[in-house]
Amino acid sequence: MNYARIAGTGSYLPEKILTNADLEQLIDTTADWIVERTGVEERHIAAPDETTCDLAERASRRALDAAGLDPGDIDLIILGTTTPDHIFPSVATQLQHRLGCYGGPAFDVQAVCTGFVYAMDIANRFIRTQAAKRALVVGADTFTRIINWKDRGTCILFGDGAGAVVLEAAEEPGIIDSRLGADGRYKELLWVPAGVSSGYEQTRQDAAFVEMRGSEVFKVAVTTLKEIAEQILIANRMTVADVDWVIPHQANRRILAATAKRLGLPEERMVDCVRTHGNTSAASVPLALDVAVRDGRIQRGDTLLLEGFGGGFTWGAVLAKY
């Protein structure tokens, strides 16, 4: 039987760093208040001429190097993003062109902050059914391009970045299981009101930015992340004690802490990059995964639980042996 295993990881953060002290000069806030409310101390901001595809390419090349593979070895590219370079073509096809690995399927997935987890689930199914041998799975966002820098409820949270994983066919897992979900009833709790087919040319300018009802998002996120973790573990006759590392969506520090508490998980077994990354949307899970792989925390044979939660609302989890 075919399984999909993680052959390599990579990530990239833009050079520019925006600190909480910098934000004190832009909006009515303090560095201490931001840390208390979110846990974020700094975030990376893409340069004006830096696109989502630029970030994705850098992360992808690092993942390929880690896997010891060339771009030509890849026969599938799936990229999670909410901030594509263009309405079309997809970022995935542009990334394919830059890497020079033509011919195989390449497409974007739009599930906001859950985009990478959705992409992992899809790539796993391609490999399990032998429709692909090696997949490049990417989460990348220049999310600060859709942030209102006068809205302190959102601008303190988000940053830009990209993370990538190479999956390859293997005789043993690899990915043990994956679960996805969504509920469109919650769309206005976290959304961008502007759209292409909903009065695009008449939309007020401020509607092109993220709007969020923070306290309501917090409640749903914590409940959902706990439930999806429990569901996937129970389905595989496992408990939290069997998991070496939980790599959650890096929404904010309070959500991570509350989720760990509800799961009965020691916080030291949860990978937390919120302080230096902020919320990088679809990039947050693969970024955190790559950081923990490269600093030696995650070792071959470890059991990992990756979790995503995003606007829509969307959510998902991937249970895997590294």
Crossing angle of helices 284-294 and 52-67, rounded to 10° = 40
Half-sphere exposure of 74 (CA within 13 A, CB side): 36
**CATH number of domain containing 193:** 3.40.47.10
Same domain, 146 and 273: no
pLDDT digits (tens, 9 = 90+) for 220-238: 999 999 999 999 999 999 9
How many structural domains does the chain have? 2
153 secondary structure, DSSP code: H
Spot the catalytic one: 53, 101, 113, 155.
Answer: 113
Last residue of a domain, one of 137, 154, 172: 172
Same domain, 72 and 147: yes
Same domain, 152 and 284: no
Last residue of a domain, one of 109, 138, 172: 172
Same domain, 154 and 276: no
pLDDT digits (tens, 9 = 90+) for 23-45: 999 999 999 999 999 999 999 99
This prediction's pTM: 0.97
Range of the domain at 90: 3-172
pLDDT tops 80 at residue 59? yes
- CA atoms of 209 and 211, how far apart (whole Å): 6
Higher pLDDT pick, 208 / 293: 293
Distant-in-sequence, close-in-space partners of 32: CB < 8 Å, separation ≥ 6 = none
Same domain, 197 and 132: no
Same domain, 51 and 158: yes
pLDDT tops 80 at residue 2? yes
pLDDT digits (tens, 9 = 90+) for 161-180: 999 999 999 999 999 999 99
Spot the catalytic one: 249, 252, 273, 277.
Answer: 249
- 249 carries an active-site annotation: yes
- 279 carries an active-site annotation: yes
Last residue of a domain, one of 172, 205, 237: 172
Same domain, 186 and 312: yes
Same domain, 36 and 161: yes
Same domain, 246 and 285: yes
